[in-house]
Amino acid sequence: MIASAVGGLMDITGPVDGSPCKVGVAMTDLQTGLHAYGSILAALLARHRTGRGARIECSLLETQVASLANVASACEISLQAPNRIASLPLPAPCAPFHLLSTLRSRCRCMTSGFRRMPISAPSVLCVCPD
């Protein structure tokens, strides 16, 4: 959580006019794990080719900063600090809606290919045109 806060993720997460929020899952940890996975595979490949071992290092903060490259680019272009965004604008119109027991997300599919896509996440309802 510290890397998320220092790296800027919490500052752009949450309601537009609200306070910074913690992301619902440990994104920084998951992304760092994926970086470690790639590094381990590269080290194993290098060992197989050269017979020498390798040392890998993974940093939560460096991963978090790297994952916000698009936000940093937008800041460089606009010369303004990033705004907090409740959710990113998507090419498909999506919006939350309330059910009896929970808040779900609804997306209207833009192509017929989505109709055939199995949806495994119970929190997503895809409403495709016929």
Query: Which residues are catalytic, by number?
Result: 29
| Tokens read off for 44 | 């194993």
User: Are the C-beta atoms of residues 127 and 109 closer than 8 Å to each other?
Assistant: yes
Nearest to 114 by CA among 89, 81, 91, 82: 91
Instruction: Give the 3-state secondary structure of residue 107.
Output: strand
* Interatomic CA distance for residues 7 and 32, integer angstroms: 13
User: Are the C-beta atoms of residues 8 and 85 closer than 8 Å to each other?
Assistant: no
The neighbour count for residue 22, using CB atoms within 10 Å, is: 14
